[in-house]
Structure 1
Amino acid sequence: MFTQNIVVDSQTYTPQQLVENILINSNCIDNVVVTNVVGGNFGGATQSYGYFDANGSNFPFQSGIVLSTGRLTNVPGPNTSLSDDNAGGWIGDNDLEAALNENNTINATILEFDFTSVASQISFRYIFASEEYQEGNPNTCQYSDLFGFLIRPVGDQQYTNIALVPNTQTPVKVTTVHPDIPGGCPAINEAYFGSWNGFVSPINFNGQTKILTATADVIPNQTYHVKLVIADEQNYRYDSAVFLEAGSFQLSTDLGPDLLVSTNNALCQNDSYQIDATQANATSYKWFKDGVELLTEVNSTLSLTDAGVYNVEVTLNNSCVSYGEITIEYYPDINAINTSITECDLNQDGITYFNLYDAEQTITNGNNVLFIPNFFEDINDANQNTNPIATPNSFQNTYVSQIVYARVENQDGCFSIAEVQLNTSMNTVTIAPQFACDDNPIDGFTLFNLNDITATFQNQIPAGAVATYFETEQEALDNVNSLSSPYQNTTQNSQTLYVLISSNNECYAISTVQLNVLYTPVLLDDEAVFYCLNSYPETIRIYGGVHNDSPSNYYYEWLYNGNITSVNTSFNDVNEAGVYTVIVTDPNGCNASRTITVTASNIATIDNVIVEEGTFNNTVTIQVSGEGFYDYALDNANGFYQESNTFTNVLPGFHTVYVRDRNGCGIVEKLISVLGFPKYFTPNGDSIHDTWKVYGVNAQFNQGIDIKIFDRYGKFITQQNNLTAGWDGTLNGYNLPSDDYWFVVTLADGKTYKGHFALVR
């Protein structure tokens, strides 16, 4: 694509002509003398500074002078190559480093001159461009060449840099004027950044600023020294340039900084602002708005009413003209909407409390950049932002339909005033008292379903209205600390709640509802009892279990295994196992229930007694059946009972076993025999061990037993059975001597026991 580029010229104009005829070109700037020029020595006619012309391109300046840190011939576009020049012996500049508090500059291009002004201020316009502007590259955040427009009275040593970001003391550099660099750094002074330059740019630099203005206050008719200087920093790579507009070095009238939205200093719609162009030795003033002369404005000041670009031409008494320009912008108007709030009045006198912030969403129309810092009772106070309402979230009106004023602001400090009319609702909603039975524990506190309460008055309120419950009237008026359902009363037995009824986000009515906790019967805990089947058809009595009150004060309903019975008394006589539930109802309708579980039990049936006998450790095991749980005793019905049905180390002989039902249904017993064999006997007539007789043998037990006794040599002595009285130690009427004797005992089932015993005389 064919595009126009600027053209440069380093030969046609001398440095004196560049300054006096190109940059200044004014008879009102006197005594212009170029005192020093420094540039890169590239050999031949190539310089690092010179004249430029826009050549029909879109470059913002038509012509002017340009200073570069590289070859002048690399300044014109297109932006298709890197301006990256160096020259032998091309050093930096100490004055620039001192003014910008930097160091290590090289490749400094310098143009110095003196001048005298007849006015108190001069200015000129410029654009800074650099290869170090790199779109999307974090290097833009770190590296920048340096330049300065340094000025001082002739004879002084201290320079002042006037190449500054507007309204700051910040030098203009790549790192101080750029948009957001993703992944690198946020935007800084972006309002003054001009553009990233693509391949078709009329200049060969990656980016450039907008048109900026350098301004200096001077003393009329005093000579000043100017040093225009630009230099690379650290190394010669990535060149930069500064373009100064032809004819822009002129007498200047300071109208103040531009007031722009982009720099966050624009005017608000209701602001008053006056431009002051007062200049010493002025004879006339001409004002222009957007290029059109304001013919009736001839004074040194101009009061603004509209946005625009304002210019002034101040003619001095020597016929020189001083020029001033300022751009004025206004922030968008704040669209604050008048509205009203309707609140309820419990006393119906038209005076109530309002939360004025309830109007904020409507006033700002949901615009989250708008906010309301204060409300006022007087519109003048609202405009002056004085005497705000102290508690806008709980404001009591002083008369019916009172109007208060909201001051609506944005982040720019602009404001607008909105009216808020305070209306009072006189609607009445009657809510019947509510009752709920006390729950467990019975303490005067219970849960109330607020949704069910709302349903009782739904026909009194508009469709879609919402009822919200509160513990205090003030909370209802402020719509804070609403209650959730179910709600447990906090005052014992009875409590009043306040009900806020809202329709279309406004209060329709405030009412009250009385919560009453009804007494609920207090019953004994559930219990379990036993019924002895062996006592059937006798009955046992179970009770409703009313606690600390007369049972006759209540109604009763009995259920058996979940089925309703005909019993309606405070007690129930039963002879069947099962689950009995009694529902006890107070005359107020509240009820409680308890469950009595009747479990069957029974006296035991002894099915068998297993005896391990004839040993050193005789055992007796009792086998029983029955519906109960049983304990066991031996020989003493009133003695110790054990849970185990086995007894060990039982002495031989006759015993009675007892089986007792743990639930009190009775005791059964059985006589048993444990076979045993005495170790000795003493037939001496003292009636103690006078005979040897097998234990556990009598006419009832061990019938058919055969007992044979032998002497130690195996000689048969005698034979006994269960009916004999035992052996008295004789044979054929003669006493046998003391000695060991042997026995063989054979039971009816064939089981045989053998052993010996001693006869002691």
Structure 2
Amino acid sequence: MVTLMEVQAQLGFCTGNSGDPIFTETFGTGTTNVALPAGTTSYTFVTATPGDGFYTVSSNSAYFDWFDIPDHTPNDTDGRMLIINADFVAGEFYRTTINGLCENTSYEFSSWMINLLPSIGCGGSGIPINVRFEIWDSTDTNLLARGDTGSINGTVSPEWRQYGLVFQTLPAQTSVILKMLNNGSGGCGNDLALDDIVFKSCGDTVIIEDVNKNTSVNICEVDLPFSTELVAVPDFSIFSTHFYQWQSSSDGIIWADIAGETNQNYITPPLNTNIFYRVLVSEDPVNLTNPLCNSSSEIYIMNVVPPPDPPLSNGDLVICANDTTPLSVSVPSDITVHWYDAPLGGNLLQSDSTTFYPNGISGTYYAEAESRLGECLSNTRTALQIVYLEVPQVTDEILEFCENTSITIHANTNITTATYVWNTGETSEEITVQEPGLYTVDVSNGTCEVTKTIELRQIDNPIIESVRSNGNDIVVTTINTGDFLYAIDGINYQSENTFFNIEGGLYTVYVKERNCAEVITTAYLHFYIPKFFTPNNDGVNDTFKLAGIEYYGTSSVSIFNRYGKLLKNTVNSPFEWDGTYVGEGLPTDDYWYVIIIDGQTFTGHFTLKR
């Protein structure tokens, strides 16, 4: 009767914890081809090229147009592998018995395999390899597990692949038979190599957790003794039932059973030293004492952490109040530092920093060490003192002064005993300067020094570009700009640069900056020719007057009516006409003038209105 275990019907590997190899077949080493032990295969052994239905155990595969490769076993020298050229009839080509197993125990079988025929072999249509793995009981009547690789086609380059099966032994069963069969027939292709056949025990992944779900714990010495309840947590990936044996170790290497502790939970005694715990797990209680039949859990570690040394002070500080140098301490890389305002208790000022800046507040501050492992605190705190010295107080300034004057600038500090060094070389609290620019003064109280900066800006005097007459208006133009004031009498200043309705004549034009005393002057002869006059004795424009003409070197004025008759003429003298001719007032009309001033002739006409 043949029985197939349904859960083992597919290829696969142990998803839990695998033990050390119980059986390994690497096919040995050597440059001479050797045969398998009798009964291992029904194929025929050859020492040279294996044909269909033949095999060899060789350290190379340089046959036909196959890949020429070494075996799979790592670090082998002349390592051998089993080379199979499939028979024309599908069927078994390898079997071996595995002894030393445990009953009711899960195992993982695995083997590495390669298709020796490149993908271009046989014109690109080579027969793929296709292998079935079977695990039978020692009577060869009960099939425990099987799995098929499916068709494995040739590849461009050599490619070893691992295949495996998970199975469980039966009660009282300590050996099994491994069989390998070709699912396909021989011909051009179906050529393979096998290596590194391994059997391992297979168990659940089991972790150990305490009541806080920790898988390890770090305990500060001050918190000893420590006790907790541990629980073994399997993932049920392999075992359906679990039996336990708790163990302890002082070094994580040599383990000892804890008498009577065979439950899933374990309450530790009060602990005062480092200790390791694990639990042995099996599916059957009879297998707990056999290391080939059980598996061990992950390790739970209880680590005792001593208090760290107090931080090492990098020194007290006596510094100026504007110095941002912090207090600092030194600790190992696995230690963090917290700062307090008292040697015990107090207020937490800063966490996780080896430096602390008290923001200019003198006093004593305390650094406490904490281990990153276990968060254990130092037994004492390190006191560090900082004293802030008074710093001279100064304020930078931007000042203005008038051109062609001097200005006195001051350090203006709060310390009467301070010393001063200006960038001009002077050492008094104040200096008098005449040039614009940047001035600095270093102010010191003997220990602390600050620098004051004064930017001195010059208020420029106006520079007169031109003065011109616009009709009877006088317009003053400057080259530069500023808050300028203008006058033509030296008394009445205005911000407007135009003087309106000014009688002709010789004037002095005055221009000054509003905030400065210096006045810039220029003489200007204001001369214009009126466009009309109204001789009606009302006191306004009663005459045609050429005011200021008398200030020119030479002048000549002639007045004509529209018919060219000369009505009035003067030479090198002031000119004023009241609109009469030989004592008689002339009528409203336009009249013409010819004016010659210093050789320059002006002609035109004006209106007499009555």
CA distance in 2, matches of 1:186, 1:64: 23
Q: Which residue of 1 aligns with 2:237?
A: none
Q: Which residue of 1 aligns with 2:535?
A: 683
Q: Which residue of 1 aligns with 2:548?
A: 697
CA distance in 1, matches of 2:193, 2:574: 149
The reply to whether residue 437 of structure 1 matches residue 320 of structure 2 is yes
Q: Which runs of 5+ in 1 are unaligned?
A: 1-55, 88-106, 111-120, 122-126, 154-158, 165-170, 193-212, 220-225, 244-257, 267-340, 344-350, 355-372, 391-401, 440-445, 455-460
Matched ranges for 1:63-102 at <5 A: 63=39, 66=42, 74-78=52-56, 80=63, 83=85
Q: Which residue of 2 aligns with 1:146?
A: 132
Q: Which residue of 2 aligns with 1:735?
A: 585
The reply to whether residue 641 of structure 1 matches residue 518 of structure 2 is no
Q: Which residue of 1 aligns with 2:468?
A: 611
CA distance in 1, matches of 2:319, 2:299: 54
Q: Are the structure 2 counterparts of residues 375 and 74 from structure 1 closer, same or farther at C-alpha, using a change threshold of 3 Å?
A: closer
CA distance in 2, matches of 1:145, 1:592: 89
Q: Which residue of 2 aligns with 1:754?
A: 603
Q: Are the structure 2 counterparts of residues 492 and 482 from structure 1 closer, same or farther at C-alpha, using a change threshold of 3 Å?
A: same
C-alpha distance after superposition, 1:369-408 (max 9, x if no partner) = xxxx9999xx999978966899xxxxxxxxxxx9621439
Q: Which residue of 1 aligns with 2:561?
A: 711
The reply to whether residue 232 of structure 1 matches residue 183 of structure 2 is yes
Q: CA deviation at 1:232?
A: 2.5
The reply to whether residue 514 of structure 1 matches residue 385 of structure 2 is yes
Q: Which residue of 2 aligns with 1:596?
A: 454
Letter in 1 for 2:484: D
C-alpha distance after superposition, 1:38-88 (max 9, x if no partner) = xxxxxxxxxxxxxxxxxx9733322366389xxx9832345746846657x
Letter in 2 for 1:63: G
C-alpha distance after superposition, 1:108-149 (max 9, x if no partner) = 689xxxxxxxxxx9xxxxx99999744998999x95233657
More strand by share: 2
The question of whether the paired residues in 2 share the 8 Å contact of 1:582 and 1:595 is answered with: yes
Q: Are the structure 2 counterparts of residues 62 and 574 from structure 1 closer, same or farther at C-alpha, using a change threshold of 3 Å?
A: same
Q: Are the structure 2 counterparts of residues 388 and 756 from structure 1 closer, same or farther at C-alpha, using a change threshold of 3 Å?
A: farther
The reply to whether residue 544 of structure 1 matches residue 530 of structure 2 is no
The reply to whether residue 653 of structure 1 matches residue 523 of structure 2 is no
Q: CA deviation at 1:602?
A: 6.2
Where 1:706 maps in the other structure, the secondary structure is strand
The question of whether the paired residues in 2 share the 8 Å contact of 1:533 and 1:601 is answered with: no
Equivalent of 2:274, from 398, 405, 426? 405
The reply to whether residue 60 of structure 1 matches residue 36 of structure 2 is yes
Q: Are the structure 2 counterparts of residues 681 and 717 from structure 1 closer, same or farther at C-alpha, using a change threshold of 3 Å?
A: same
The question of whether the paired residues in 2 share the 8 Å contact of 1:559 and 1:580 is answered with: no
CA distance in 2, matches of 1:622, 1:415: 97
C-alpha distance after superposition, 1:647-677 (max 9, x if no partner) = 5998673566432225524434455333222
Q: Which residue of 2 aligns with 1:524?
A: 395
Equivalent of 2:353, from 483, 489, 512? 483
The reply to whether residue 557 of structure 1 matches residue 535 of structure 2 is no
Q: CA deviation at 1:727?
A: 1.2
Q: Are the structure 2 counterparts of residues 717 and 555 from structure 1 closer, same or farther at C-alpha, using a change threshold of 3 Å?
A: same
Equivalent of 1:581, from 440, 449, 455? 440
Where 1:63 maps in the other structure, the secondary structure is coil
CA distance in 1, matches of 2:320, 2:529: 77
The question of whether the paired residues in 2 share the 8 Å contact of 1:578 and 1:599 is answered with: yes
Q: CA deviation at 1:707?
A: 1.4
CA distance in 2, matches of 1:598, 1:229: 101
Q: Are the structure 2 counterparts of residues 756 and 382 from structure 1 closer, same or farther at C-alpha, using a change threshold of 3 Å?
A: farther
Q: Which residue of 2 aligns with 1:447?
A: 324
Where 1:726 maps in the other structure, the secondary structure is strand
Matched ranges for 1:368-447 at <5 A: 404-407=273-276, 413=297, 433-439=316-322, 447=324
Q: Are the structure 2 counterparts of residues 523 and 666 from structure 1 closer, same or farther at C-alpha, using a change threshold of 3 Å?
A: same
Q: CA deviation at 1:731?
A: 2.8
The question of whether the paired residues in 2 share the 8 Å contact of 1:136 and 1:182 is answered with: yes
The reply to whether residue 162 of structure 1 matches residue 143 of structure 2 is yes
Letter in 2 for 1:595: T
Q: Which residue of 1 aligns with 2:99?
A: none
CA distance in 2, matches of 1:382, 1:521: 76
Letter in 2 for 1:162: L
Q: CA deviation at 1:641?
A: 2.3
Q: CA deviation at 1:624?
A: 7.0
CA distance in 1, matches of 2:168, 2:42: 15
The question of whether the paired residues in 2 share the 8 Å contact of 1:137 and 1:184 is answered with: no
Q: Which residue of 2 aligns with 1:720?
A: 570
Q: Are the structure 2 counterparts of residues 381 and 428 from structure 1 closer, same or farther at C-alpha, using a change threshold of 3 Å?
A: farther
The question of whether the paired residues in 2 share the 8 Å contact of 1:133 and 1:174 is answered with: no
Matched ranges for 1:308-327 at <5 A: none
The reply to whether residue 471 of structure 1 matches residue 339 of structure 2 is yes
The question of whether the paired residues in 2 share the 8 Å contact of 1:743 and 1:754 is answered with: yes
Matched ranges for 1:340-355 at <5 A: none
Q: Which residue of 1 aligns with 2:367?
A: 498
Matched ranges for 1:205-224 at <5 A: none
What count of residue pairs does the alignment treat as equivalent?
A: 449
More helix by share: 1
Q: Which residue of 2 aligns with 1:631?
A: 484
CA distance in 2, matches of 1:129, 1:545: 92
TM-score by length of 2: 0.53
Q: Are the structure 2 counterparts of residues 499 and 664 from structure 1 closer, same or farther at C-alpha, using a change threshold of 3 Å?
A: farther
Q: CA deviation at 1:598?
A: 3.6
Q: CA deviation at 1:743?
A: 0.3
CA distance in 1, matches of 2:193, 2:440: 102
Q: Are the structure 2 counterparts of residues 525 and 186 from structure 1 closer, same or farther at C-alpha, using a change threshold of 3 Å?
A: farther
CA distance in 2, matches of 1:702, 1:160: 148
CA distance in 1, matches of 2:113, 2:485: 110
Q: What RMSD over aligned residues (CA atoms) do the two structures have, in Å?
A: 6.4
The question of whether the paired residues in 1 share the 8 Å contact of 2:562 and 2:592 is answered with: yes
Percent identity of equivalent pairs? 17
Q: CA deviation at 1:726?
A: 0.4
The question of whether the paired residues in 1 share the 8 Å contact of 2:129 and 2:191 is answered with: no
Letter in 2 for 1:633: Y
Q: Are the structure 2 counterparts of residues 404 and 709 from structure 1 closer, same or farther at C-alpha, using a change threshold of 3 Å?
A: same
The question of whether the paired residues in 2 share the 8 Å contact of 1:132 and 1:144 is answered with: no
The question of whether the paired residues in 2 share the 8 Å contact of 1:374 and 1:388 is answered with: no
Q: Which residue of 1 aligns with 2:67?
A: none
Q: CA deviation at 1:754?
A: 1.0
Where 1:528 maps in the other structure, the secondary structure is strand
Q: CA deviation at 1:692?
A: 1.0
TM-score by length of 1: 0.44
